[in-house]
Amino acid sequence: MTKRSLGWRAYLWPEVAIFGVLLALLAATLGLAYLPLGSLNLAVALLFAVVMAALVALFFMELARARSI
Amino acid sequence: MTDTATTEPFEEADQQKHASALGIWVFLATEVLFFGALFTQYAIMRMIHADAFFEAARTTRVWFGTANTAILLTSGLTMALAFKGEKADCPKVAVSMLWSTVLLGFLFLLVKGAEYYLDIRDGFIPGSASFPLEPAATQSFWSVYWLLTVIHAVHLSIGLVLIAVVAHLIRKGRLRSTTRASVMEVTSLYWAFVDMMWLFIYPLIYLAGRAG
């Protein structure tokens, strides 16, 4: 394997951006839980959980760039 | 022995990498089934005892749960950066990010431990005579709470040991580059899975019934 230089900007992007989005989604999930949406509260909370899990899978598990086994 | 040598019984580095990737994905599939059964139990109990579930869920400590979610997301970031560092052939970066992940994992367990201490102090132990809530069905929620969070904490603890061992081996230079790539991939996939499970536990346990 050849050694490659790793610039800080290239190193941190896009993971840090995705991390920021995940924290924003967490804050939104918490805030929406206190809105009286009835049975939609659970649906909204789970929808946000699915979106956050998808971001983790795509970018932290690198599925967006992965090849099939 | 070259740096790209494989471990027995593999003859090619790609073959070894694909085998470890397949292995961890099969393992994670069984874990999804395991957690799926627990989430199904939660759904059934919540359907049967909806009001009691909401009342009990409001007594959980939402700020502890939220803080731990933020901590786990941060650890997911450091783990992803460790994997990226390894792929760019920067073992020092990978090792420092791995140890950051371990520290964040311990912080998660510390917060969880404090939360458990307060839960036990306040008597939220299903079946105990001093359980503070009525009706009795509220105990079903707390049973699911203990089951889900303890099982998750066990998975997280296993991940911490795994990451610490990998960080130590990389720092000592005891892993060949091909083996290192496979081990890092398996470790980062496992940790991301632990992250993802918590993302579903958090709204189900801590946010249910908050709107009143």
Q: Which residue of A has its CA nearest to B65?
A: A30
Q: Using CA coordinates, name the residue in chain A closest to B207.
A: A33
Substitution target from B46, B97, B199 for chain A, most A beta carbons within 10 A? B199
Chain B residue with CA closest to A60: the answer is: B80
Chain B residues in contact with A22 by the CB 8 A cut-off are: 73, 76
Interatomic CA distance for residues B210 and B212, integer angstroms:
5
Dump pLDDT digits (tens) for B174-193: 888 778 888 999 999 999 99
- Run of H or E including B164: helix B138-171
- Can you give the pLDDT at residue B180? 87
The shortest CB-CB distance from A33 to any of B3, B79, B211 is to B211
For the entire predicted model, the pTM comes to 0.91
pLDDT digits (tens, 9 = 90+) for B40-80: 999 999 999 999 999 999 999 999 999 999 999 999 999 99
- Given a cut of 70, the residues of chain A with pLDDT beneath it are 1-6, 67-69
- C-alpha distances out from residue B95 to A58, B33, B52, B73, B119, Å: 23, 32, 47, 19, 36
Write the ipTM. Answer: 0.89
pLDDT digits (tens, 9 = 90+) for B3-43: 555 667 777 777 877 888 899 999 999 999 999 999 999 99
How many beta-carbon pairs under 8 angstroms link A with B?
A: 97
Q: Hey, are the CB atoms on A45 and B207 less than 8 Å from each other?
A: yes
Instruction: Give one word for B173, left, alpha or beta, with left for phi > 0 and alpha for psi -120 to 50.
Output: left
pLDDT, residue B11, reads 74
